[in-house]
Structure 1
Amino acid sequence: MTESYYRRVHGTDAEDPVFESSRLTASVWGPDLQHGSPPLALLTREIEQLIAGSGQRIARLSLDILGAIPVAPVRVRARVQRPGRRIRLLEAEMRAHHDDRPVARLSVWALATDDTGAVATDRHPPLIEVPAQPPPAWFAQSTGYARSVAWRGQPDSADGAAVAWLSPRVHLVDSEPTTALQRLAMVVDSANGIGAALDVDEYIFMNTDTVVHLHRLPAGEDFGLRARASIGPDGVGATTAELFDRTGFIGTSAQSLLVQRR
C-alpha cells in the first residue's frame, strides 16, 4: 500500500487536526463527494485514540452524514459525551475546512471489557470465501473509492442476500499503521452497494447513515459482507448486513436509503 485516503496537513495538540482528502475518497455518486467509508474510518481513528488505554472497546459505531462531504480538506475532533468507567458515549465530528460546515458525525458506545470467552456465541457460522465473481459493472468502471478496495463477489446466500469479501488496498492516513477496526470501517459503508436492489443507472439509492454493532472486534484485513436492501413505496429504503472476518461473524450494519429515479 503506497497511497492513503487522507494526508495530515495541519494540526497540533492544541487544535483540531486537518486532513487533505485524496481522490481515492471519491464516491460513485460524484467525483467531488466522498464515499461514506473513508470518513467513517477517519472518525473511528479519532475515537480509538481517545479511548486508548481505558480498558474499554468500541461496541457501536453510528455515522450520520450531515451533508455533502467534499473531496477537500476536512477537520476532525473527538470528545467524550458521557463519561464512565464501564460505559462511555463518545462523539467525533468532521467539518469541511473551507467553510467550517459539519458534514459527518460519529456516535460511539465504548464498553468495559471482561473475560466472557467461556460463554461467547455467534449466531452465524463463519463465512467461507470461494473463487471470486466479477464485481458489479458500475463498481468495476468507477474511479475514486472503487480503486482503493479489492471487491471479491461471491454467490448469493440461500435467502437471496448478496455476498462479497472486501479488502482495503490503501492506508487511512499517510503511511501510518491502520487498526483492524479502521480497516473494517474503510469497507463497511459498501454494504449498500453489495446489497443493491436497484439499477444504479436508473436510480440513486444514497445512504444517510451507517450503524455498526460489534459483539467482537474484527481482526485481519479481509471482511465479508452479506447484505440485502429493502425498498419502500415512498422513496425510502434500508440495507442491512452481517459482517465477518476470517475467523467468523463479528456484527451487523444497517443503513437508511434515499431512493430517487435519475
Structure 2
Amino acid sequence: MDVLFRRLAENRFLATEKVGGAWDPREQHIAPSLGLLAHLVEQDRDARRGDDLQLARVSFDILGPFLVGEVETAVRVLRPGRTIELVEATLASEGRVVLTLRAWLMQRTGTEQIEGSALPAIPSRDEMEPALMDDGWPGEFVRSFEMRRQRLGTGRAQAWMRPKYPLLDSEQVSPMARMIAQLDLANGITPRVDATELLFPNLDLDGSFFRTPQGDWLGFDTSVSFGPSGVGQTQSTLHDELGPVGTVSQTLTLRYR
C-alpha cells in the first residue's frame, strides 16, 4: 500500500518516496511531517489522559531542508494543565532537529448555541475545475492529492484538496492530523511568480482552528503577498464542506534562482 510514512519504532519513521519535495525531490516536502507531529501529539495526549483535549493552535518552525529517509521524533509537555496544555514535538533527521511544533490543546465545552463565523464561504468543489500543482514542480508529494481550483487573480485563489495516500501505514489518523498534513500545500496553490524563476519556501506555519474538520476534502481561500525586501506571506482560510474551520499563515523567504 502506498503511504507517506512507515513506523519503524515508537519514535522512528521512514518517509517513502511519496514525500519527495517540490523544491528538490531528494528532500522531504514538509507537509507530511507537520501531520506526523500533530498525530504524535494526539497519541501522547491519549496515552496520558482520557478527556480528548482538542488541538486549537499549532506553531511550526522549519529549521532547514532534510532528505527523504528515516526521521526521529520526540514529544514533551511544556505546560501541563487540567483544561489547557502546551505540548512540544520535534522531528530530527540524521541527528539534527529540522522541525519543531508547539501545540495548544484545549478542553471541549458545549458552545453549540453560539457557534458561528463571519469568514466568507468558498464555492463547492463541484463549481471548480480539476487542477494539478505539478506544473514546474518536481517531487512526488505534489502528485499525492486530488485538487480543484479557481484562480481569482495574481496571488489569489480558492481550492479544494483531498489526499490520495494515508499518512501512516496500519494506524488511524484523526481528521485534525489529516488536515494539518495538508496545510503546507497552501503556499503552492497560487504563486505570484513562477517557481522556475523564484524560490519562495516558508520558514514556518501557524494554524488556528475553532472547529474540528469533517470529511476528506479541505478547502483553501488563499492570498499571497510579497514585500520589497525578500519576505513574503501566504495566508489562508480553511474550510470543510460545512464551512470555515480556521486559518493558517506562512512566512516566505524570496530568492531569485
CA apart distance, 1:137: 5.2
Of 132, 135, 145, the residue aligned with 2:132 is: 135
Identity rate of aligned residues, in percent?
A: 33
Give the 3-state SS of the residue equivalent to 2:250 in structure 1: strand
CA deviation string 1:216-257 (max 9, x = no partner): 111111001111111011111010000001111000000000
The answer to whether the 8 A contact 1:126-1:247 is kept is no
Of 148, 172, 185, the residue aligned with 1:152 is: 148
Of 162, 165, 173, the residue aligned with 1:167 is: 162
**Paired residue type of 1:3:** D
Give the 3-state SS of the residue equivalent to 1:206 in structure 2: coil
CA apart distance, 1:198: 1.4
Change (3 A) 1:192 1:120: same
Counterparts of 2:194 and 2:155 in 1: how far apart (Å)? 17
Of 24, 28, 46, the residue aligned with 1:30 is: 24
Q: Give the TM-score taking structure 1 as reference length.
A: 0.91
Larger displacement relative to structure 2 (52-61 or 183-192): 52-61
Change (3 A) 1:239 1:169: same
Give the 3-state SS of the residue equivalent to 1:219 in structure 2: coil
Q: How does 1:178-257 map to 2 (within 5 A)?
A: 178-257=173-252
CA apart distance, 1:124: 2.2
Counterparts of 2:95 and 2:33 in 1: how far apart (Å)? 16
The answer to whether the 8 A contact 1:42-1:182 is kept is yes
CA apart distance, 1:125: 4.0
Of 124, 133, 141, the residue aligned with 2:119 is: 124
Counterparts of 1:229 and 1:126 in 2: how far apart (Å)? 19
State the partner residue of 1:47: 41
Change (3 A) 1:54 1:70: farther
The answer to whether the 8 A contact 2:134-2:142 is kept is no
State the partner residue of 2:96: 101
CA apart distance, 1:100: 1.2
Counterparts of 2:80 and 2:51 in 1: how far apart (Å)? 11
The answer to whether the 8 A contact 1:196-1:228 is kept is no
CA apart distance, 1:67: 1.5
Q: Show structure 1 runs of 5+ residues with no match.
A: 12-16
State the partner residue of 2:58: 61
Counterparts of 1:245 and 1:197 in 2: how far apart (Å)? 25
CA deviation string 1:100-121 (max 9, x = no partner): 1001001100111100000111
**Paired residue type of 1:143:** G
**Paired residue type of 2:147:** W
The answer to whether the 8 A contact 1:92-1:106 is kept is yes
**Paired residue type of 1:34:** Q
Larger displacement relative to structure 2 (141-150 or 106-115): 141-150
Coordinate RMSD, CA, aligned: 1.7
**Paired residue type of 1:7:** R
Give the 3-state SS of the residue equivalent to 2:182 in structure 1: helix
State the partner residue of 1:14: none
Q: Show structure 2 runs of 5+ residues with no match.
A: none
State the partner residue of 1:6: 5
CA apart distance, 1:186: 1.9
State the partner residue of 2:82: 85
Q: Give the TM-score taking structure 2 as reference length.
A: 0.93
The answer to whether the 8 A contact 1:235-1:258 is kept is yes
CA apart distance, 1:150: 1.1
